Amino acid sequence: MHEVSDEELLTTIQSAIEYDSELPKVEFKDGRGGIGSKLYKEISALSNTAGGGLIVFGVKEDRSATPKLEITGIRNVHELQEKIYQYIDHKMTAPGEYSVKTLNINGKDIVVLCISELSLENKPCYYTDTGINRGSYIRVANVSRPTTAEEVRSFLMYSPEYKFDQQPLKSASTEILDIDKAVKFFDDSATRTGRTLEGSENLQKNLLNLKLTSEFRGLVYPTYAGALLFSKGDPQNIGELSRYIVRCVRYSDKTVSSNILDSSDIYGTLDSQVDQTISFVLRNISRSAQLVGSKRVEKYEYPEDALREAIVNAIIHRDYSINQTYVHVAIFSDRIEISNPGTLPPGVSIENLKESQFSRNTTIAAFMRELKYMEEFGRGIDLIFSRLREWGLPEPLFKNKSNMFKAILLGPAFKKLNDRQLTIWNTLQERNSLTSRAVRDLFPEVSRASINNDLRKLVDANLITPNGSGTNTFYEPNY
């Protein structure tokens, strides 16, 4: 909130007291027993809500049938102020600008924490201990409520962290850009959509407006998106972009310790990387003849468009601020694993992945969608699920780990496994070992005999190995 005088603060607080009610921008705390354990709710909510607000210590709220506010005052003002400062410093991430004031009402001291609203690019403020997904709040009427996943994503759309692809690449000049490719894109887009994007006439303006270039201190540079999409040569020739490659490996068996049958490090602009990666995968998976109706057709063991979508997602949505590692595509005898640097953005989880509409790299995603390399938001994940179902394959597995997101497409070897067996196998990938009791706990309503049968089938399929004996038996994944 803007800087206000003590008189204005007193007027606002006294108005609320007269109404015997908290206001949308005023929260009251007793304060005589300290600042309380849940102060983070109001600090987060007021930081994230238009106009900010006040947290007033020294006013007790009677929550009986007839609500009433009573000025109790604060005895040790300096001690309470120090606790507030320490709490914000140690418990809150990205709070709005704040100040702590002492005022006097009816001869009693009160402490007022004045919180300003954060700018769009800095939201949300959240409780550090529980993280951005569960520790972010907004103010609705006079209540501080948790933000929804969609609200967190809407905040992050303005965050520089999630617009890294729009940052200027200061180690390169705009001369690296393939102007002919850019002009063709603009002209094709104008023809297709009826928009005014004539490439040759408005080239520099279009490049700036579409975030392919960026002005910094009077100079114009290509953005990361511009370099990765429209470089004349391989963008990886630029030092900062050297690790933006796709590393593909075909293994002879189920583990990385098996022989390598084929490998390739794939360079080039992002559209070229997608095409080359698809070619690598298709030449390294089986294809067989099948009857479809009365026709004999050749089918890959994985649906080609599901593979393509998984690869596109990894390349487009990787965290380009992480430049120490690559996108990885590992083809094993029974599955394909596609990994990209960076975890899912806050507000997006494996559970809501199909419904979430969020892109870490908005410029790259927009251009790849325009170039027909990417489905509309949400449809791509749906396509992967539906195509795998049509092929009779299990649903894909997703793993969201520290600085790495992985999609696993399970091959024909997994067709015979039921949903429980897939859950056991997937859980083992996360935990590395499970006791028999822990496996049973995953399915409390399923009989012990059924669980034991599931475990036997996984052992027979050479997916897991039992160790120990009797009640001490535990299981480990074979890879």
Cα–Cα dist 353/376, whole Å:
14
Domain co-membership, 352 together with 250:
yes
Q: Of 147, 177, 196, which residue is a domain's last? A: 147
Q: Which of 89, 113, 96 is nearest to 28 (CA)?
A: 113
Q: What's residue 57's pLDDT?
A: 95
Least confident of 268-272, 358-362, 417-421, 451-455: 358-362
Positive or negative torsion for Cα 466, 467, 469, 471: negative
Cβ–Cβ < 8 Å for 281, 252: no
Q: What is the pLDDT of residues 166-202, one digit of tens each?
A: 999 999 999 999 999 998 888 887 777 666 555 455 7
Average pLDDT for 315-329: 92
CATH number, position 402: 3.30.565.60
With pLDDT > 70 as the criterion, what percentage of the chain qualifies?
93
Q: Is residue 382 part of a domain?
A: yes
Q: 136: which strand partners?
A: 126
| pLDDT over threshold 60, residue 376 | no
Cβ–Cβ < 8 Å for 375, 381: no
Domain co-membership, 455 together with 375:
no
- Write down the mean pLDDT value for the chain: 88
Domain co-membership, 318 together with 369:
yes
| pLDDT over threshold 60, residue 294 | yes
Number of domains in the chain: 3
Domain co-membership, 449 together with 391:
no
Pairing of strands 246-251, 260-266: antiparallel
Query: Cα-Cα-Cα-Cα dihedral of 43, 45, 48, 53, to 10°?
Result: -70
Q: What is the pLDDT of residues 246-292, one digit of tens each?
A: 999 999 998 899 999 999 999 999 999 999 999 999 999 998 877 66
Take residue 417 and report the two structure tokens written for it: 């496994």
Average pLDDT for 77-98: 93
Q: What's residue 356's pLDDT?
A: 67
pLDDT confidence of 430, banded at 50, 70, 90? Answer: confident
Q: Is residue 194 part of a domain?
A: no
| pLDDT over threshold 60, residue 105 | yes
Residue showing tokens 């929550």: 63
Helix, strand or coil, per DSSP, at residue 433: coil
Question: Which residues contact residue 272 at a Cβ distance below 8 angstroms, ignoring those fewer than 6 apart?
Answer: none
Q: What is the pLDDT of residues 216-252, one digit of tens each?
A: 988 999 999 999 999 999 999 999 999 999 999 999 9
Domain co-membership, 275 together with 332:
yes
Q: What's residue 65's pLDDT?
A: 59
Positive or negative torsion for Cα 373, 408, 153, 90: negative
Q: What's residue 357's pLDDT?
A: 64
CA angle, residues 199, 200, 205, in degrees to nearest 5:
65
Take residue 442 and report the two structure tokens written for it: 């995953």
In terms of C-beta distances under 8 Å and separation of at least 24 residues, what long-range contacts does 281-286 make, across chains too? 281/248, 281/307, 281/311, 281/329, 281/331, 281/336, 282/307, 284/250, 284/331, 285/331, 285/336
305: number of Cβ within 10 Å: 14
CATH number, position 427: 1.10.10.10
Average pLDDT for 91-111: 92
| pLDDT over threshold 60, residue 378 | no
Domain co-membership, 393 together with 430:
no
Domain co-membership, 303 together with 401:
yes
Q: What is the side-by-side strand order in the sheet with 434-435?
A: 434-435, 474-477, 464-467
With pLDDT > 90 as the criterion, what percentage of the chain qualifies?
53
Domain co-membership, 285 together with 403:
yes
Q: What's residue 200's pLDDT?
A: 52
Domain co-membership, 11 together with 45:
yes
Reported residue count of the chain is 479
| pLDDT over threshold 80, residue 95 | yes
Cα–Cα dist 386/390, whole Å:
6
Q: Is residue 234 part of a domain?
A: no
Domain co-membership, 13 together with 143:
yes
Pairing of strands 92-93, 126-127: antiparallel
Question: How large is the C-alpha radius of gyration of the chain?
Answer: 29
Q: Which of 251, 258, 269 is nearest to 336 (CA)?
A: 251
pTM comes to 0.74
| pLDDT over threshold 70, residue 67 | no
Average pLDDT for 400-416: 88
Cα–Cα dist 286/301, whole Å:
6
Q: What's residue 10's pLDDT?
A: 86
pLDDT confidence of 90, banded at 50, 70, 90? Answer: very high
Backbone angles phi, psi at 37, to 5 degrees: -90, -10
Cβ–Cβ < 8 Å for 405, 342: yes
Q: Which of 470, 471, 475 is nearest to 455 (CA)?
A: 475
Q: Is residue 192 part of a domain?
A: no
pLDDT confidence of 386, banded at 50, 70, 90? Answer: very high
Distance of CA 448 to the CA centre of its chain: 38
| pLDDT over threshold 80, residue 379 | no
Separation in Å, CA 283 to CA 44, 252, 287, 310, 347: 52, 14, 9, 17, 37
| pLDDT over threshold 90, residue 23 | no
Q: Is residue 179 part of a domain?
A: no
Q: Is residue 35 part of a domain?
A: yes
Domain co-membership, 397 together with 263:
yes
| pLDDT over threshold 70, residue 413 | yes
Q: Is residue 164 part of a domain?
A: no
Query: Cα-Cα-Cα-Cα dihedral of 461, 464, 468, 473, to 10°?
Result: -90
282: number of Cβ within 10 Å: 14
Q: Is residue 224 part of a domain?
A: no
Buried/exposed code over 151-168 (b: 16+ C-beta within 10 A; e: otherwise): bbbbbbeebeebbbbbbb
Residue 452 belongs to what domain range? Answer: 419-477
Domain co-membership, 339 together with 428:
no
Helix, strand or coil, per DSSP, at residue 280: helix
Q: What's residue 406's pLDDT?
A: 93
Q: Of 367, 382, 414, which residue is a domain's last? A: 414
CATH number, position 89: 3.30.950.30
pLDDT confidence of 375, banded at 50, 70, 90? Answer: low
Cβ–Cβ < 8 Å for 162, 150: no
Q: Of 121, 147, 173, which residue is a domain's last? A: 147
